Structure 1
């Protein structure tokens, strides 16, 4: 399985006195419907004073999906399929999903031995049961303003941890996606009675 965490999510770091890395923990749930395919920190220099976790969720055709995207805590010690004691949906249901990250924490050091943040994000059913991998460790290190970009994707029949969308043979995934889009457009056109 490919680690979905970007390099700047493997340990706490600072560049020119600003947070440039954090320690996130990927908690895989291989039997769950959605897998985490990317977790990236938008560092303090690039965050423009924002404190948001932006979450994209893709279906198996790499089209944005409407799901329940939860912010949860505490996450340390969590194991699939156990639920979370505390969880919230975003205040705004727009896609991509966005959660405000307001919890400060002390990373207590640098590199992979630094402490992770107190929050986690996952995809759940309407009752909050976990149906995805979980990414833990989000927060504001030392109260500094950072953001997070996360991407989940619906698992397909292939091996979990498929990596970035459109993997496989070069052009093959794109060709398959275009074929499915064309078929869907043909059905819409036929349904609307357009064309001849």
Structure 2
């Protein structure tokens, strides 16, 4: 069973509380011992010059006596460390199949976008257009798409030959052309632009 947020925070809180309690009780014991001894010295008529010394000795004695109580707090520390170790060794929660496949699909899409951006160096060595993975939309089949003007796009298909991995896809009529350079891409886009200009004037 995996540790919950509550179980992860209870341990440190108990340890911090135990340490604070130890310091507070130590100081309290010293003060109580000093005050008690000072009062007793006053009651029996010890001169004022010796009362302070007696109070110091009383504080030390009370603090020493308190050391017999500190092992009980030590047990609390030990229990806390053992519990924390047990919580750290809890088995992780198993990922359900639907969530696992969903994460795999997301990873494949992200990987495809990264691969497309990385393999584009043959076309865009300066990474001015195609070198950013955020510009690519990865798909669950391992391909990636880079949208362009005129409803066209670049399609990336990973393969053994990077030179043929990038194709220019024209929607109307549907055409797919292997891109050899950014200059070639500009020429293909210019053809679409000229065709679009003719269609709008007729």
Could you state the TM-score of these two structures normalised by the residue count of structure 2? 0.20
Q: Identify, as 1 or 2, the structure richer in strand.
A: 1
Q: Identify, as 1 or 2, the structure richer in helix.
A: 2
Which structure has the bigger radius of gyration? 2
Could you state the TM-score of these two structures normalised by the residue count of structure 1? 0.21
